[in-house]
Structure 1
Amino acid sequence: MPADTFQYARGRGLNIGLIAMGWPPDVGGVPSHTADLAREFIARGHQVYVLCLDTRGELEPLSTFDSDVDGVEVRRVAYAYGDHAKLADLMVHDGLRNVILGWMAETPCDLIHVHHVTGFGASALHAVHDVGQPLALTLHDYWLLDPRGQLFGSDGHARDANDLEGLTADIASSWKHLLPSGGGAAVGPLGETLTDDLAAVRAHREYALGALALPGLLVAPSEAARAVYESAGVQKGRIRVVENGVEAEDLAAEVARLRAAAPPRPADEPLRLGLFGTTLPSKGAAELAEAFVEADLPNLRLVIAGNRPSFHGDNSYVERLEALAAAHDSIELRPEYARSELAALLAEVDGVAAPSRWEEVYGLTVREARAAGLPVLVSDRGALPAVAEGGRAGLVVPADDRAAWVDALRRFAADDAARATWGSHESSLRTASQMAAELEGLYLDLVEESTGIRPDLRRSEPDGGDAEPAAPSAPEQPAKRGFLGRLFGR
């Protein structure tokens, strides 16, 4: 690529492209995270462009529509996952690849940061990389190692990343029709002929590892996630840990305001323990509810709020949870909540649990709880133990140990002093602003490595000094052309 492909001006900031599985008002951890990131980038003087999926199934497949969401140019592409005929189709989708190429041709991005390839497939990384665009990827879960996303087996236990026979059984339990034994075409992501189901899964993994070698910047939110990917074959040292940020101050202030405005709680009113977010089997909601029933605590209610989806078409886990709630008034199920409702949820509970049974990559809900000054009960999986800060902010409980969860619930309900100590512990939570600042520096390195030019983001001051990165009110500059336009003179 010629060194003058990218033309940077002092104070203009970067044009950052984000590819994600969804965008607000879509609900979920990744849409919330990327929206926070976009807001912080805009505050730092950058422009953000988004390409994401619209999975409602209401529009012509692969059609696109544009909108402005809080100052971010968002293009949504209609795609509802209904066209997979073989396992390789999860990895390679020519139609969506062409959508990405068209978006890049029209969009003035200096780099593309992919935040999830679900739906788009790993071929999305090839689409960006193969035209020479600087490429970053954040690994928000284990989808590239396990198409079910969480390395959580159909047997109800965490799956080792290198247990390909177990992964084959898991995939067969969810999408038998995608495997050769179930009628799926015996063709791999590169067009290679496959001999059996295990060969299909091996080809899937090899293609994924090849795609993971493409980004110039490969990011994981935690050491735990990095370790899992490295165990699966990603080169050691390739993954940079960049912890996600939480809007701790704003959230804490709103929760405090709501608590102050609420009427005093009657002395005989039970405590409330919250479990927030999706209730997939890997999250352990039903197991926590069963331990809660066994603990038999009249002074404690369990409040479970979040979406209750089927697990790849299997509703048995949700039905198990709903049956427990129907039989026990002390278990309250609430529907999926909007992000604007989070502070109100946190204001009414006395602690938050995350009983996850998979190797949790980050643990957003309990970090939000800590921002609100709440104690946490977390499992010992993935990045969750760090949130309890060695027992100073709550308890770490073995994920699959029912008796240990019963004991932890009883202590939470009975030990007022411990709850107060855990809640008052001052956690050093990383903010969204800190996250964006770190990524900004990594973006500059990425662009320089890719193009030979390091963008200069600082404005010249009258006295010859340099100011901080340009604010959104900086003088308007001539618009940059799309990537392919700059590359080929369009």
Structure 2
Amino acid sequence: MGSVGRWRTVRLPRRIGFLGQGWSPDAGGVEVHTSALAEALVQQGIEVGALAWGSAEQGARLLNQGGVTVTRQPRLRDKPAAFAGGVNSDDALELWLDTLRPELVHVHHLSGWGARALDVLRKRGLPVVVTLHDDWLICPRGQRWHVSNYLCRVPDPDACAKCLGESHGELAQTAEQLTKRLLHANQALQFVDRIMAPSSTLLEAHQRAGLECAGPHALGRVMPLGIEAESLGLETKRLRALRGDDDLLRLGVLGSVQPSKGVLPLAEAVVAAGRADLVLEIHGPRTSYHGDSQTVSKVEALARDHSAIRLHPSFHPARRAEVLAMLDGVVVPSLWEEGFGLGAREARATGLPVLASRIGGLVQLDQDPGVTLVEPGDQEAWVEAIHAFKRGLIQPCDVIKSTLEMTDDVLAVYASVLQARTDQAA
């Protein structure tokens, strides 16, 4: 399908590269978003190739997913290289660029590639758009969540060195080395054509850390992620009609069980609330978080001891409507500053009420009548919110951006980048 409307008179890239950490069906909102955007661009007649890490056991793979050519590079076994990028990741990136020959590269995550990937792209003279989905550029652990379980408002080199040394001994770095890492990231961003983030809070976090997010041509811009709201809502409604009636209220958590996500204190709040008519359905991977498995172990222990806590494995993104149809509400109890909160917005697209932490990109939902915001870490407030929760669909907020609308906005960014490059060359 060719591009339509205003794109007939505007130059768009014919071939785009996406660079990231993972790709659908890997678990994670970033992976869901990037694959949806890439497939939407293909529908506009643009060739899209993606480079992402894959399983070391499966080796290098070339896949076609929704018309997108996806190269899965075996995940680096050398952990220091996996942390910051290295010769092996540079070689993989160079080979991919030689093969795809993109006219523009959209970077979605640099974990494993390092900020040096931006250096590779700069040396090739390629137009580059970066979307900041989390805090990886300013925090090696990605979420500014300290090993001692607290949120770092501004990265401090001494605290970062201690945190990284305790959680990843093999990656231990001095405060001076971590300062240089941040400086390198800032320098690399100066040559990026456009920088975007799904929320203003994410941009502000990078700016507080000293990253200007605005090089000669790159102005930090808020670009909310899109959702297939209409189709997701219709399919969820159809499946919900098939659901058998019972008296149980089912609250769902959709995502990883890790300290920064707040699943453990939420589960404890559900137990403390003691509602015999309510259960917490936790859907998501239960893997260690930077080597820490204590949170997973404690959640699993709660599930063994309390029938109100139910654990489920990760689900394929294609099953999202099926999972949502079985719930009466969704909870996003994050303790870190969520960049966007895709799961909360998907739930609202289906009419489900949402309980969410008043933090990060989730704060933007405060005007939605279907969302109750609760202070993160306030256990009494969470117990009270669980006590007060009632069954009942609430009309979705009409400001949820569709994937098509988001794609249109992204195309406008691509067009402006190419036009600026043309003007510079004139």
**Alignment TM-score, normalising by the size of structure 2:** 0.92
What secondary structure does 1:404 align onto? helix
Distance 1:72 1:404 in 2: 45
Relative distance call for 1:13 and 1:150 in structure 2 (3 A) is closer
Q: Where does residue 262 of structure 2 map in the other structure?
A: 284
Partner residue, 2:186: 209
Greater mean alpha carbon deviation, residues 96-105 or residues 251-260: 96-105
Structure 1 residues 10 and 208: CA distance shift in structure 2, 3 A: closer
Work out the CA distance in 2 between the residues paired with 1:375 and 1:331. Answer: 19
Task: Return the alpha-carbon distance in structure 2 between the equivalents of residues 274 and 448 of structure 1.
Answer: 45
| Change beyond 3 A, Cα 1:371–1:9 | closer
Q: CA deviation at 1:119?
A: 0.9
**Which residues of 2 match residues 134-173 of structure 1 at below 5 A?**
134-173=127-166
Q: Which residue of 2 aligns with 1:262?
A: 243
Q: CA deviation at 1:84?
A: 3.4
Indicate the residue corresponding to 1:84 in structure 2: 79
Matched, 1:380 2:358: yes
1:147-174 deviations in Å (ceiling 9; x for gaps): 1010011121111223222222211121
Could you say if the C-alpha distance between residues 254 and 447 of structure 1 is closer, same or farther in structure 2, counting changes exceeding 3 Å? same
Cα distance in 2 for residues equivalent to 1:327 and 1:131? 57
* Partner SS, residue 424 of structure 1: coil
Which residue does 2:377 correspond to in 1? 400
SS at match of 2:367: helix
User: What does residue 227 of structure 1 align with?
Assistant: 204
Counterpart CA distance in 2 for 1:98 and 1:221 is 30
Worse overlay, 340-349 or 21-30: 21-30
Matched with 2:3 is none
| Partner residue in 2 for 1:460 | none
SS class of match (2:397):
coil
Q: Deviations for 1:402-460, whole angstroms, at most 9, x for unmatched residues?
A: 000001111114xx5xx55xx22534201111111111111011122234499xxxxxx
Unaligned runs of 5+ in 2: 1-7
CA deviation map 1:4-27 (0-9, x unaligned): xxxx99898621111111223333
Aligned to 2:4: none
Deviations 1:361-385 (A, max 9, x none): 0101111100110111000110112
Q: Deviations over 1:114-165 (max 9, x none)?
A: 1111111111111111110001111110011111010011121111223222
The worse-fitting range, judged by mean Cα deviation, of 122-131 and 236-245 is: 236-245
CA distance in 1, matches of 2:82, 2:285: 27
Return the match for 1:437 from 392, 401, 408.
Answer: 408
Q: CA RMSD in A?
A: 2.1
- Deviation of 1:55 after TM superposition, in Å, equals 2.9
Q: Residue 100 of structure 1 aligns with which residue?
A: 93
Runs of 4 or more, structure 1, over 6 Å off, are 8-12
Distance 2:181 2:36 in 1: 32
Q: Give the secondary structure class of the aligned counterpart of 1:384.
A: helix
The answer on whether the counterparts of 2:13 and 2:103 sit within 8 Å (CA) in structure 1 is no
What is the Cα deviation at residue 236 of structure 1?
6.2
Query: Do the aligned partners of residues 277 and 90 (structure 1) sit closer, same or farther apart at CA in structure 2, a change above 3 Å counting?
Result: same
**Which structure 2 residues correspond to residues 48-63 of structure 1 after superposition, within 5 A?**
48-59=48-59
Displacement, 1:200?
A: 1.8
Q: How many pairs are equivalent?
A: 414
User: Is 1:67 the counterpart of 2:63 in the alignment?
Assistant: yes
Instruction: Determine if contact 2:10/2:415 at 8 Å carries over to the other structure.
Output: no
TM-fit CA distance, 1:67: 2.4
Aligned equivalents of 2:320, 2:32: Cα separation in 1 = 12
Return the offset for 1:209: 1.6
Residues 3-61 of structure 1, C-alpha deviations (whole Å, 9 max, x = no match): xxxxx9989862111111122333322221111101111122211111111134343xx
Report which stretch shifted further, 244-253 or 101-110: 101-110
Structure ranking higher on relative contact order (CA contacts 8 Å, 6+ apart): 1
CA contact (8 A) 2:12 2:415 kept: no
* SS in structure 2 of the partner of residue 312 of structure 1: coil
Q: Per-residue deviation at 1:102? A: 2.0
Q: Is the 8 A contact 2:199 2:223 kept in 1?
A: yes
- Larger Cα Rg: Structure 1 or Structure 2? 1
Q: 1:270 to 1:209 in 2, by over 3 A?
A: same
1:156-215 per-residue CA deviation (whole Å, 9 max, x = no partner) reads: 1111223222222211121123225xxxxxxxxxxxxxxxx2112212211122222221
Question: Matched residues in 1 for 2:374 and 2:26: separation?
Answer: 32
Contact 1:259 1:347 in 2 (8 A): yes
Q: Which residue of 2 aligns with 1:46?
A: 46
Closer, same or farther: CA 17–9 of 1 in aligned 2, 3 Å = farther
TM superposition score normalised by structure 1? 0.80
Which region of structure 1 is more displaced relative to structure 2, 355-364 or 197-206? 197-206
SS at match of 1:147: coil
